[in-house]
Amino acid sequence: MSIRFPDPDPAILARREAILAGLAPLVAPEALVVSEDERRAFETDGLTAYRQMPLAVVLPSTTAEVSAIMAYCHANGVRVVPRGAGTSLAGGAIAQADAIILGVGKMTKVLDLDFANRTARVQSGITNLAISGAVSHEGFFYAPDPSSQLACTIAGNIAMNSGGAHCLKYGVTTNNLLGVTLVLNDGTVVEIGGQHLDAGGYDLLGLVCGSEGQLGIVTEATVRILRAAEGARPALVGFSKVEDAGDCVAAIIAAGIIPVAIEYMDREAILITEDFAQAGYPRDAEAMLIIEVEGSDTECGAMLARIERIAEGFRPTSLRVSRSEAESAAIWKGRKSAFGATGRISDYICMDGTIPTGQLGPVLERIGAICAGKGLRVANVFHAGDGNLHPLILFDINKAGELQKAEEAGDEILKLCVEVGGCLTGEHGVGIEKRELMRFQYDQVDLDQQMRVKAVFDPDWMLNPAKVFPLEGRLAA
């Protein structure tokens, strides 16, 4: 990974008190975080092995406040790192010593609900799950569902183009985003998209979604809400071989069946999660799939019957279909808590690469070999239906050299994803974790073109500047 932070600008550090004085009138007193103890809460994100104290933290409540902050920082040469809830797993929200963090955590209002047109307009600091909570009384929901949906914000989801367990059927954030209010680097406020299905001209919304906070600050978002299905039923299928589970996924997709979710867990992940959640997972299986379908009872039954017939061809050790809402909730509680359960027993790095589903079997075998070769354990838990891998590489940060070994294993796994026709990230973004690996997926011509787009929005590279692109060889500094 070669994680390192750029050298801070001494001139900015020398002007810290003057910068704080300039920011103070722009927000409420409690919204400017300056003391070292309070800033420490913002020095890292979900990539917790790396820390950097920010110059200051500003927590605005409105688009107007964000605009004023950005205008001030632009005029005074202050870098800005956008932050949602800090759940980023690629270091996307980690600060710089000479940058302020602009957090949208106070911007949590639901601004408009339009059930006739199936849209919701919200401030970008609202949590993912809170949108579904705001519309569930009318039988609607917001589809993208990252495992951190209880905490992660829509701002962060847009920045990383997040997905989740149910993205196999409903798509990721970009498939459910209709419009944004974007504050540019100089404080200019622009509206992109809206309630309509599509907008004329260039697809600027598609450019913003997944840009990792490098093009502007999203302060409001219009998202698509959907009618909840009549019902849903997950099934648990255990296998004696990792390859059989991977091949079963590929066979289901190849048969033209699109469940609402296909989630994968290997033996390590099963045992870790079952100890914590007691979800009824098969402890004797080497790998397990959670396959969920939705619709009427008849539709669910017919689709599950087809899936069972396919699964039987891969010698399952167990196959259990949920028979109640409580059982379904337990199955998903286990999956949603897998990362947290792992964190209870070990330090870990969560990788995020995507591969063609037909490569699942051999890639999973090679991931195990890569980690074993470093003397490390790995727990695989991921969105198998679209080939979005999340190997959790376990290590002990108190043992000299183990973090480096975990990083090296992570690099090899991500390179493997690219080698088999996949890419470096599916939903966690590039951040600082994968920025040096961008050269492995893209040549310099490709990188230069991407950086030119960045420079159009942010010519001085003041927004989240140390992320996404390799530190050396940039078009701008």
Whether residue 248 is found in the same domain as residue 356: no
Q: SS3 of 91, please?
A: coil
Check which CATH number belongs to the domain holding 360 and give it: 3.30.70.2740
Strand order of the β-sheet with 110-114 is 110-114, 119-123, 217-224, 177-183, 189-193
Check whether 2 has a pLDDT greater than 70. Answer: no
The parent domain of residue 285 ranges over 229-343
What one-character-per-residue DSSP string does 278-303 give? -----TT-SEEEEEEEESSHHHHHHH
Report yes or no on 5 lying in a domain: no
**Token couple for 393:** 């590489």
**Token couple for 238:** 């255990």
Check which CATH number belongs to the domain holding 258 and give it: 3.30.70.2190
Tell me the pLDDT tens digit for each residue of 388-447.
Answer: 999 999 999 999 999 999 999 999 999 999 999 999 999 999 999 999 999 999 999 999
Please state whether beta strands 287-294 and 232-239 pair in parallel, antiparallel, or not at all (unpaired): antiparallel
* φ and ψ of 185, to 5 deg: -60, -35
CB 384 within 8 A of CB 259: no
Beta bridge partners of 123: 220
Determine what percent of the chain is predicted with pLDDT higher than 90. 85
Whether residue 255 is found in the same domain as residue 361: no
CB 427 within 8 A of CB 86: no
Report yes or no on 248 lying in a domain: yes
Nearest to 357 by CA among 235, 234, 264: 264
Report yes or no on 303 lying in a domain: yes
Tell me the pLDDT tens digit for each residue of 449-470.
Answer: 999 999 999 999 999 999 999 9
Whether residue 305 is found in the same domain as residue 368: no
Whether residue 130 is found in the same domain as residue 212: yes
> Domain count of the chain?
4
Nearest to 55 by CA among 118, 8, 22: 8
**Token couple for 472:** 């050396």
Report yes or no on 123 lying in a domain: yes
Confidence of residue 477 (pLDDT cuts 50, 70, 90): very low
Listed in sequence order, the DSSP H helices in 110-160 are 128-135, 154-160
- Amino acid symbol at 217: I
Task: State how far the alpha carbon of 87 is from the alpha carbons of 45, 156, 165, 221, 379, in Å.
Answer: 6, 8, 17, 19, 20
- Domain final position from 227, 245, 277: 227
CB 93 within 8 A of CB 41: no
Check which CATH number belongs to the domain holding 196 and give it: 3.30.465.10
CA distance 180 to 218: 6
Whether residue 77 is found in the same domain as residue 115: no
Sorted by sequence, the CB contacts under 8 Å of residue 35 that are 6+ apart come out as none
Report yes or no on 172 lying in a domain: yes
pTM of the shown model: 0.93
3-state secondary structure string, 197-254? CCCCCCCHHHHHCCCCCCCCEEEEEEEECEECCCCEEEEEEEECCHHHHHHHHHHHHH
Whether residue 18 is found in the same domain as residue 40: yes
Whether residue 214 is found in the same domain as residue 234: no
CB 152 within 8 A of CB 128: yes
- Amino acid symbol at 32: L
pLDDT of 237? 97
Task: State how far the alpha carbon of 78 is from the alpha carbons of 32, 55, 96, 242, 291, in Å.
Answer: 15, 10, 11, 50, 48
Helix (H) or strand (E) holding 371: helix 360-373
* φ and ψ of 464, to 5 deg: 45, 55
Check which CATH number belongs to the domain holding 18 and give it: 3.30.43.10
Tell me the pLDDT tens digit for each residue of 204-245.
Answer: 999 999 999 999 999 999 999 999 999 999 999 999 998 899
- Domain final position from 103, 129, 159: 103
Whether residue 376 is found in the same domain as residue 326: no
CA distance 265 to 243: 12
Nearest to 162 by CA among 428, 470, 474: 428
CB 423 within 8 A of CB 353: yes
Check whether 111 has a pLDDT greater than 80. Answer: yes
- Domain final position from 61, 82, 103: 103
Sorted by sequence, the CB contacts under 8 Å of residue 213 that are 6+ apart come out as 81, 82, 92, 159, 463, 464, 467
Whether residue 221 is found in the same domain as residue 234: no
CA distance 127 to 141: 13
Q: How high does pLDDT run on average in the chain?
A: 94
pLDDT of 34? 96
CA distance 36 to 43: 10
CA distance 415 to 334: 30
Tell me the pLDDT tens digit for each residue of 160-203.
Answer: 999 988 999 999 999 999 999 999 999 999 999 988 777 778 89
Whether residue 25 is found in the same domain as residue 55: yes
